[in-house]
Structures are given as C-alpha cells and as structure tokens.
Chain A
C-alpha cells in the first residue's frame, strides 16, 4: 500500500481530538479528501456518515430518462422503457429481429428487410446471450418492458407480497406514528405521521388484534411454478446432477432479482435495468445543502457543490527512499520484481515529503502539529508494562508556520517556467537534488505556485512493529471574506490574532500512513529473494 493522507471528520466522536490511528475503529473517522464536504455555515468538515441524504431524482442509467417519483413505485424501481440487462453479463440488451429463414444452402439472402421480421428477441452484444434461449420473444419491438413487468408481477412471490401489503395497509399509519413518537427524527421523513398521530393512538389500543395472515403459498411448495430455487428437494437434486460449475448461476447474476429464482443459469431471465437516483446532501447541524446535483440526468454538474477539496489544502505524501528504490529497480531491468512499497526497516530514520496544495484564492499560513502516538496496548500485558510503553516511532516536522501561495488559474502564470516546473520536478526532485539530504530533510523544501513541499523525518525505534500512522493537526490561517461574529460553541474555529479580525484559523486533523515497518531479520530474507 502506498503512503496516504486521510482527513478526519469529528462526527463520530464526542471530543474534537481524533482517535489513535492504529485502532481498528479509527478508520471510520478518517476519509480521503475527495469524499468530504465542507459546510460554510458551520465552518466544519462533513463526511458521508454525517450528512443527510435526500433523493432529488430518479433516472435510468441506460436511457437517461428521468422517472417521476410517482411512477418509480409503480414500475418497481426499474426502467419502464426499453432498457434491459443481460442476466449473464449485466450488459445492456438490444432488441433484434429474427434471422430471415435460411434457404438451406448457407448463402446469405441478398436483401435483409430493414424493419426485421418477428419474432423479436433481446440480444446481448457482449456475451451473445439471447432471450429466445429462455423462451422470451416478442411480436413487436416496442413496449417490451410492460410485457416483462406483467411477467414479473405474475410471479407467485410478487402476488403474495401484494396481498401482504393489502393486509397490513390499515395498520401502517399506526405503526409509523408509533415509530415517529418513539424514535426522534423519523417524523421528519414521514410528513403525514403527525397529522395522523391522533387516529394512530386510537388504533394503538387494538394493535395486537391484527388478524392472522394466511399465506396463499406455502414456503417451499413445489406447486409455485418454480420447481427450483426454493431451497427444497428439487434444488438438492439439481445440484447432485451438476456436471460443470457453469450450470449454476452465480450469486452476482441472481442478486439483482426481486424474487427467488431458479439456480440454473439456463433459466436466467432478462431484467429491466434498475433505476439510479441523484442525491442531494445536507449538513446535519445547520441543514444547509452541501451537494445538489442538477435535475437533468444527462448533466453531471452540480448546482451546489461544497466539497472539502475546495477549502482545505490537499496533502500528498511521498517517500523519497521508496522512489529511489523503484527507480533503481527500473534501471536494473527488474521491473517484474515486486516493488516493496514503503519498505521501512525498524531502527532506521527515513525522510518523507508532504506537499500541500492550496485551493484558496488567498495565500495561507499552515502550521503542523503531530499527535503523539502510542502503540496499542497488548491485551495480555501486565499493567506495569503500560508505563514503559514508548511510541514506536518519532516524527519530526517543522514546527513553525509556513506559507503557501494562493491558487491561481493556469493562465495567470505569466512565464511558462512555473508551468514546466510543476511537471518535471516531481520526478527528479526527490532523487537528484536531495539524494542524501541529511542537512535539509526537515523544513520547507520547496515552494512553487500554490504548492509547498515540507520535509519530515520518521525515526523508527528498534522494537517497533506494525504500521507507521500518526495523527497530524493541520491549522491554517486565511483571510476571511466575511467578518461575521464567531460562534463560541465551535471548537475548531479560533480567532487567530485579535488585532487582525479578518484573519481566521481553521484546523483539522489528518492521519498520515507511511507504510508498514519491516522487522530487520525478515527484511534480510526479503532482500535476498
């Protein structure tokens, strides 16, 4: 695994400080930068766990037709136009006419009717599955979805489900109002619950008196039309007579089906393509919209897009010694040799580079602070051993603040020197100019455009094991556009200097993963091989 930097979202913790990164549970709090959002109102990072998601529209991924939400339910969440999915390879099926009758001599007839001849069937261009194999053909090439849906709806399970819904219909408002009362927050999603809660409470009294539902179909009954798939004897019998694995359809092929289907791959039916939805996301505390896609299915733009990448400096990390090793491997022609990603031996010191990219239009000052990491306590270690525990590695980073220039559009750079520098330096910078750089490994190594490269060092102690992961607090000071008063409640927002009210500081935690420590004795074996 290559070294990575992930950002912390404090939504799951009660304290503003992140959990120790070597705990397994901490991975839920750290996210890659591109998965995070930023709420301008609360001035806070939001992640996918804490935002509120709302569906803003449904569409078919194949024909890009926007389906009104009223018909989504009627059409059972699948496309009602001519979009079908190949049951064997998930590709899109196309409607094709049958071949003209073969006149026996194997020659192609001179003209083929452009309109095609019935019966029509569905055909997969990728794996050449066709629906005539399972006996589905059509007289007309239009309105196929309706015909297929009729087929789906007549499945015994579907009928049973409809009857169940009908049976429980009168009790549904009661149950949902009870839910809304007992669990705060549910009421928001069911707007009618409150208006109905009166009648619901009346019915709560006789909630126990739901009459027993009598199923029309017994589970596993062979009379359901599907002799297979119920998990009963016919299935066992079928499995016993298998000759090749291909006769059984894979889980993936059957997963998208609404109802139990036969396990035989010969019986797979074409499926209407499931609809996708566009979602908008809201900040959980101030309810402002963070993400709002455009309504049109064809459009990939957003009306509102408050992603963290536009607010926080992007941090990328690289290990110079690893790049040098890779380059050496490449030079020696052993490209097939497994590149040992981040081979870090215990008891050694390695430099690493963090490059910060400023997305803001103003220059910022960044200050780094490393949270001390402790090794995970051994489950069976005696309590006195806890005291002698030492951090398995030490991180050295520049402690004073360093500047990053403002982001500028590409055409604002007047001389092309800057532009060329960006591409080339990534490759030769690490190896050539800083080969053994003992003198300057910690500190600002390089500044160009809106990128600043910071050098750090990690000292790994002899007996350490596991991954080198540490939490790093990044705080940056920027010029704020709107001098609005501070809310005292938000801990992450601090006034930087009282005499300069337009400067603001925002801090966030990141976890830096440098890779796995390799213990010395095993590493020598690795080098030999």
Chain B
C-alpha cells in the first residue's frame, strides 16, 4: 500500500494485496473485497474512484475507476483506458485493453479466452449481493485468525 489511499467502511483488504497510488489518489468505497495478490494501481493524476461492493479476486490487476457491484475475476487485467460502470463482470484471465477511452455499460460481462462480451440480464443480482455480503462477513471473521497483525501498525 503506497500513496494517497482512502478506503471506505467494511472494505476488506487482504494483507497480500497491493494498492498503489502512483501518481494520483485512490478512493475505494465501502464493502469491497480485495483478495490476495490483487493489484490496484493509479497511473493518472485524477482520483481513481472505486465504488461500493466490488469484488477483486485473486491476482487481478485494475488500473481503472469503476462503479458498484463489479466483479473482477481471478487474474483478469483491466487497463487504465477503460471505465466500468456497475454490475460488470470481467471473467477469469481476461485482459481488457481499450485503445481509446471506453466506458463499459452496466451489466457487461466479459468472458472466455477471446474476451467475448454480452449483457447480463441482471437476474440473480440480489442473490449475488447477498452472497457477497456473507462473503465479506466471513472474511472479516476469518482473516484476523490466520494473518497475525503486527501491533501498532494501525492497519
């Protein structure tokens, strides 16, 4: 963790995650889950704003701002030219590099080896939100048990 970072209430950051505000600040909303090995990087001057209830899975790399309830799957990578709105899903291992500034529509799903796109109907959204809430609760309980924190660091 390095640079000017603001993290909202209820957001869980795994000890091995990297958040690096290289040139501009990073603002993360509430109830996000940032898993092990995830990298959030700001390469720009302006604030990289990440909304609420996003899930960053293991080993993903994000350099773009986004809205709420997005899922970035394992080892996916998003370049700084893209912006996510809300309820987007970037599938496992997908690489999103927009050649020009692009804002993904709500409910966009990118999946598969060729990065196919489709629009999700949004059905099952509430259940997913519920699942994510339980996920966060579980992590909140379990993470301190298995990762000893050094006292006085004020994490």
For chain B residues 76-124, which have a beta carbon within 8 Å of chain A?
89, 91, 107, 109, 111-112, 116-118, 120-121, 123-124
Given contacts A127-B111, A128-B89, 6 further A-B contacts (CB under 8 A): A96-B127, A99-B123, A102-B126, A108-B129, A127-B109, A128-B107
Is the beta-carbon distance between B126 and A130 smaller than 8 angstroms?
no
Docked complex Cα distance between A108 and B69 (Å):
13
Interface Cβ pair total, 8 Å cutoff: 53
Is the beta-carbon distance between A98 and B123 smaller than 8 angstroms?
yes
If A108-B129, A108-B130, A108-B133 touch, whether A123 touches B118 (CB-CB below 8 Å) is no
Docked complex Cα distance between A236 and B91 (Å):
34
Is the beta-carbon distance between A88 and B124 smaller than 8 angstroms?
no
- Taken residue by residue from 73 to 117, chain A's Cβ proximity to chain B (1 for < 8 Å, 0 otherwise) reads as 000000000000000110000001111101000001100100000
B44 sits at the interface (CB 8 A): no
Q: From B134, which residue of chain A is reached at the shortest CB distance?
A: A112
A288 sits at the interface (CB 8 A): no
Binding site for B on A (CB under 8 A): 88-89, 96-100, 102, 108-109, 112, 121, 123, 126-130, 132-133, 246
Docked complex Cα distance between A102 and B118 (Å):
24
B140 sits at the interface (CB 8 A): no
CB distance from A109 to the nearest CB of B (A): 8
Is the beta-carbon distance between B111 and A112 smaller than 8 angstroms?
no
* 16 A-B contacts (beta carbon < 8 Å): A98-B123, A99-B127, A102-B126, A108-B126, A108-B129, A108-B130, A112-B126, A123-B123, A128-B107, A128-B118, A129-B118, A130-B121, A132-B121, A246-B116, A246-B117, A246-B118
Binding site for A on B (CB under 8 A): 89, 91, 107, 109, 111-112, 116-118, 120-121, 123-127, 129-130, 133
Q: What residues of chain A lie closer than 8 Å to B133, measured between beta carbons?
A: 108
Is the beta-carbon distance between B129 and A133 smaller than 8 angstroms?
no
Docked complex Cα distance between A346 and B118 (Å):
52
Q: What residues of chain B lie closer than 8 Å to A102, measured between beta carbons?
A: 126
Q: From B125, which residue of chain A is reached at the shortest CB distance?
A: A99
Q: From A91, which residue of chain B is reached at the shortest CB distance?
A: B111
Is the beta-carbon distance between A89 and B112 smaller than 8 angstroms?
yes
CB distance from A127 to the nearest CB of B (A): 4
A99, A109, A129: residue with the most chain B Cβ atoms closer than 10 Å: A99
Is the beta-carbon distance between B116 and A112 smaller than 8 angstroms?
no
Docked complex Cα distance between A108 and B130 (Å):
7
Is the beta-carbon distance between A100 and B118 smaller than 8 angstroms?
no
Q: What residues of chain B lie closer than 8 Å to A246, measured between beta carbons?
A: 116-118
Q: What residues of chain B lie closer than 8 Å to A133, measured between beta carbons?
A: 121
Is the beta-carbon distance between B123 and A127 smaller than 8 angstroms?
no
Q: From B91, which residue of chain A is reached at the shortest CB distance?
A: A126
Q: From B131, which residue of chain A is reached at the shortest CB distance?
A: A112
Partner of B116, one of A89, A97, A100, A132: A89
Docked complex Cα distance between A100 and B129 (Å):
12
Q: What residues of chain B lie closer than 8 Å to A99, measured between beta carbons?
A: 123-127
Docked complex Cα distance between A346 and B107 (Å):
58
Q: What residues of chain A lie closer than 8 Å to B125, measured between beta carbons?
A: 99
Partner of A112, one of B91, B120, B123, B130: B130
Q: What residues of chain A lie closer than 8 Å to B129, measured between beta carbons?
A: 108
If A108-B130, A112-B130 touch, whether A123 touches B124 (CB-CB below 8 Å) is yes
Partner of B120, one of A89, A97, A109, A128: A128
Q: From B87, which residue of chain A is reached at the shortest CB distance?
A: A128
Docked complex Cα distance between A63 and B129 (Å):
28
CB distance from B73 to the nearest CB of A (A): 9
Is the beta-carbon distance between B124 and A96 smaller than 8 angstroms?
yes
Q: From A108, which residue of chain B is reached at the shortest CB distance?
A: B129
Q: From A265, which residue of chain B is reached at the shortest CB distance?
A: B118
Q: Top 10 closest A-B pairs, CB basis?
A: A128-B120, A99-B126, A127-B111, A128-B109, A112-B130, A108-B129, A130-B123, A126-B111, A96-B124, A127-B109
Docked complex Cα distance between A126 and B109 (Å):
9
Docked complex Cα distance between A99 and B126 (Å):
6
CB distance from A180 to the nearest CB of B (A): 47
CB distance from B70 to the nearest CB of A (A): 13
Docked complex Cα distance between A100 and B130 (Å):
11
Docked complex Cα distance between A100 and B127 (Å):
8
Docked complex Cα distance between A123 and B126 (Å):
14
Is the beta-carbon distance between A127 and B121 smaller than 8 angstroms?
no
Docked complex Cα distance between A96 and B112 (Å):
22
Q: What residues of chain B lie closer than 8 Å to A109, measured between beta carbons?
A: 126
Partner of A132, one of B111, B112, B123: B123
Docked complex Cα distance between A315 and B130 (Å):
57
Is the beta-carbon distance between A112 and B127 smaller than 8 angstroms?
yes
CB distance from B86 to the nearest CB of A (A): 11
Q: What residues of chain A lie closer than 8 Å to B89, measured between beta carbons?
A: 128
CB distance from B53 to the nearest CB of A (A): 10
Docked complex Cα distance between A88 and B120 (Å):
12
B117, B130, B133: residue with the most chain A Cβ atoms closer than 10 Å: B130
